[in-house]
């Protein structure tokens, strides 16, 4: 690139070895390297953000088009299918992945998701069982409470009936005392 990266060997004498000069030379080398790496590409193409196609069956290519399944006719991989893009000849970066590898990854991902769903189902089943147990306990408690309430109402009605009957029996006795023709000075009824 037109830059001279010459390097001179320091002398083997210990007296002439200067650490400061070595550090300065190393710093200059790093500065030259940074300057040489600061080149820009005039037409750098940036693809739009697309979902990654690293795992499983690719859904979209890096260029945004839909991948297609093609067949390899090479001696090393005869009739082996792979995912590619119809725009592969434009020289840009496009998707390329073996079909069987993509399916294995997709199945592995599906197995992971299935395992997670089974775990969620098990947890939900445990929660339902726990809620059913709580519901049974609460229904027993409400049945006991209803029985006690009914028993209390019956006892209260019985008590009211006894009081009414007792009052009626007393009231009738007083009424008889007042209407009797017994001679007495002090009526104490």
Spell out the per-residue pLDDT of the chain, length 189, in tens: 556 666 666 555 555 557 777 788 887 887 777 666 655 555 555 655 555 557 888 888 888 889 999 999 999 999 999 999 888 888 888 888 899 999 999 999 999 999 999 999 999 999 999 999 999 999 999 999 999 999 999 999 999 999 999 888 887 555 555 555 555 555 555
Residue-wise over 8-43: b if at least 16 C-beta within 10 A, else e? eeeeeeeeeeeeeeeeeeeeeeeeeeeeeeeeeeee
What HEC string does 84-149 produce?
ECCCHHHCCCCCCEEHHHHHHHHHHHHHHHHHHHHHHHHHHHHHHHHHHHHHHHHHHHHHHHHHHH
CA distance 175 to 46: 113
pLDDT of residue 47: 54
Map tokens 């599906």 to a residue.
110
Bridge partner residues of 96 (DSSP) = none
pLDDT of residue 90: 83
The two structure tokens encoding residue 108: 């592995």
């Amino acid at each position: 690139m037109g830059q001279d990266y010459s390097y001179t060997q320091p002398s083997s004498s210990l007296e002439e070895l200067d650490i400061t000069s070595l550090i300065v030379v190393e710093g200059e080398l790093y500065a030259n390297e940074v300057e040489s790496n600061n080149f820009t590409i005039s037409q750098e193409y940036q693809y739009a953000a697309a979902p990654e196609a690293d795992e499983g069956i690719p859904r979209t290519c890096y260029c945004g088009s839909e991948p297609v399944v093609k067949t390899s006719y090479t001696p090393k991989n005869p009739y082996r299918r792979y995912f590619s893009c119809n725009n592969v000849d434009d020289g840009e970066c496009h998707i390329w992945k073996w079909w069987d590898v993509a399916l294995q990854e997709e199945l592995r991902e599906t197995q992971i998701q299935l395992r997670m769903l089974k775990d969620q189902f098990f947890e939900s089943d445990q929660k339902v069982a726990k809620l059913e147990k709580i519901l049974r306990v609460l229904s027993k408690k409400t049945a006991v409470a209803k029985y006690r309430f009914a028993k209390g109402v019956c006892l209260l009605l019985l008590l009211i009936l006894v009081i009414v009957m007792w009052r009626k029996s007393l009231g009738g006795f007083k009424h008889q005392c007042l209407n009797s023709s017994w001679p007495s000075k002090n009526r104490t009824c």
